[in-house]
Amino acid sequence: MDAVEALVRKTVGADEPGLALALVQDGRVLFRAGRGVADIRSGRPIDTGTNFRLASLTKQFTATAIMLLVREGKLDYETHLTDIFPDFPEYGKEITIRHLLTHTSGLPDYENLMPEAKPNLPVEDQQINDYQVLELLKGEKQGKFRPGTNWDYSNSGYVVLGLIVEKVSGMAFGIFLSEKIFKPLGMKATVLYEKGISEVENRAFGHVPKDGNWIVRDQSLTSATRGDGCIYSSVDDLILWDKAWKEGTLLSREEMALALTPVEVPQKGPVDPYSQPAAYGFGWFLNPWKGYQRAWHYGETAGFRTAIHRFLETGLTVIVLCNREDIEASGLALRLGDIFLAGKAPGKGRRY
């Protein structure tokens, strides 16, 4: 893996905010490493146990939590939003759990409804929480489109899914994730971070470049919402997450196949972050890359960039977690995957 190590060293300096990454094939770790510092203030080095904010990689876990409740018979994919929240406005009567999972609900974007930041107050003191998001959505008279007719990436939908997990299970969302997913898989350091409720061990702090230097900045107005992006995890723990998907530890083959089935809509279909036509399941983009079937996702939030790419036929998974904004984590993951896949023709069939 000399080429992989060379690319990592070229991408990140040892004394800069950096990254942790892994290449895994069918449970066998081909390469994993950390480079750079978790906190520019202390110089604490990154290792593969360092916990990064996952941002939208969180959506995979939120979707899995919903799937576990469906298995338990506490939910159905055709359950309507107003079945869970009876006081939700009329436009929620057609929105189902499936719509929320696949970004076809048409819920308004809460980011466009919330108040703008007040420059004289710390961002942390102005952050919106899940319950406030729900109230903002209840204050609207209509969605962006009729549910199921269009696709539009929706953080609102995944915030609401987290609240649904909480209400239906009777457990706090973070506790449900810990008891039903993290602990069973041995993901000992992974946590849904909530200020004043949980702590992040071996935490990486987000960084942004400014005037040739680095400053710590990993909080925004939306950093306290949970189902759409609040989990912290490490490369070591995400290797266990990948193993669970490949071995069917949490979900059956039939359940995984459902999560990895592209949604179909009659109007505008899914697009990836590059505005290119894509496909989407339950918390996973599903469009192929260079002929390889792929389940993948990216995450972007203040100070962090993250990505997981699972090349289904080859059994290869590439994980990249960065605590700096100037690295395009998904693009780096593909470059790493290209090193491994070079010369290997895409196979046939699908592997989970």
The secondary element (H helix, E strand) that includes residue 183 is helix 183-185
**Residue written as token pair 């904010």:** 53
Catalytic: which of 42, 56, 105, 234? 56
Active site residue 56: yes
Give the dihedral of Cα atoms 162, 167, 171, 177; nearest 10 deg. Answer: -20
Read out DSSP for 63-96? Answer: HHHHHHHHHTTS--TT-BHHHH-TTS-GGGTT-B
**Residue written as token pair 């993951």:** 333
Q: Give the sign of the dihedral formed by CA 168, CA 174, CA 177, CA 179.
A: negative
Task: Confirm if 311 and 74 have CB atoms less than 8 A apart.
Answer: no
Secondary structure class of 282 (helix, strand, coil): coil
Q: What pairs with residue 209 in β-bridges?
A: 214
Catalytic residues: 56
